[in-house]
Amino acid sequence: MKLISADGTLQDRIALNSKAVRLLKVQDEPATLHAGTIVVCGGGHVSYTVAGSSYTLQEGDFCVLDRSIELFPEAGQSTLLIIELEDPAPHTPPRSLKLLFASIKEFWSPKVAAETTHYQIKLAKLHGEFVWHNHEATDELFVVWDGELMMHFQSATVTMKPRTALSVPRGVEHCPEAEEIVCAILVEPKGVVNTGKAGGSLTAPNDVRI
């Protein structure tokens, strides 16, 4: 996994509305994570326990934590994308991105795969060029899982390879374009319209869950 800033440079951490988005490599020692955190496993596998039940998070799974937990490495090194929303949430046990993306048939139509009190984790398949738009009140986190996405800004284009994350700052005009099919994870507050105020035929309904 890699984090990239809106100017295309690689980063150790990026921000989503001042919340930390960072990478965590877990190998020999357990790692402590806190309530309201989204964890996406980019490689390897780890385990954790919630209310007496144990869960395994493997490559291509994500979960949402409702409490502080210790993540235990299972074998070798695991690479995790950590989105520390610090937002109260129910526990979402590990879900498979591969299975969820396989169930999505439409392009540019984000589906809610999990949520916290204020945020949603949406999955979308992208193909072709979207519309120029911005989101006045919020940053928007894109994680490219499969495929290659061009994120056009007015000043530059950032090419997002698979397993990269980029946060589009609030108010910044952007236009995603996918020459081949892209599977993307979006994390943003509830109620955000995918086309901002630009509208048009690619405007998708909100709160469609998978």
Binding residues for Ni ion, rule: CB under 5 A, are 140
Q: Which is nearer to Ni ion, 87 or 140 (CB)?
A: 140
Taking the complex as a whole, how short is the minimal distance between the CB of residue 177 and Ni ion, in angstroms?
12
Q: Which is nearer to Ni ion, 54 or 154 (CB)?
A: 154
Taking the complex as a whole, how short is the minimal distance between the CB of residue 39 and Ni ion, in angstroms?
23
Which residues are within 8 A (CB) of 129 and not within 5 positions of it... i.e. 6 or more apart?
175, 176, 177
Q: Which is nearer to Ni ion, 115 or 140 (CB)?
A: 140
Taking the complex as a whole, how short is the minimal distance between the CB of residue 90 and Ni ion, in angstroms?
26
Q: Which is nearer to Ni ion, 6 or 71 (CB)?
A: 6
Taking the complex as a whole, how short is the minimal distance between the CB of residue 82 and Ni ion, in angstroms?
22
Taking the complex as a whole, how short is the minimal distance between the CB of residue 196 and Ni ion, in angstroms?
6
Q: Which is nearer to Ni ion, 60 or 147 (CB)?
A: 147
> Both tokens of residue 116?
């916290």
Taking the complex as a whole, how short is the minimal distance between the CB of residue 27 and Ni ion, in angstroms?
35
Closest residue to bound Ni ion by CB: 140
Which residues are within 8 A (CB) of 68 and not within 5 positions of it... i.e. 6 or more apart?
32, 33, 34, 35
Q: Which is nearer to Ni ion, 29 or 136 (CB)?
A: 136
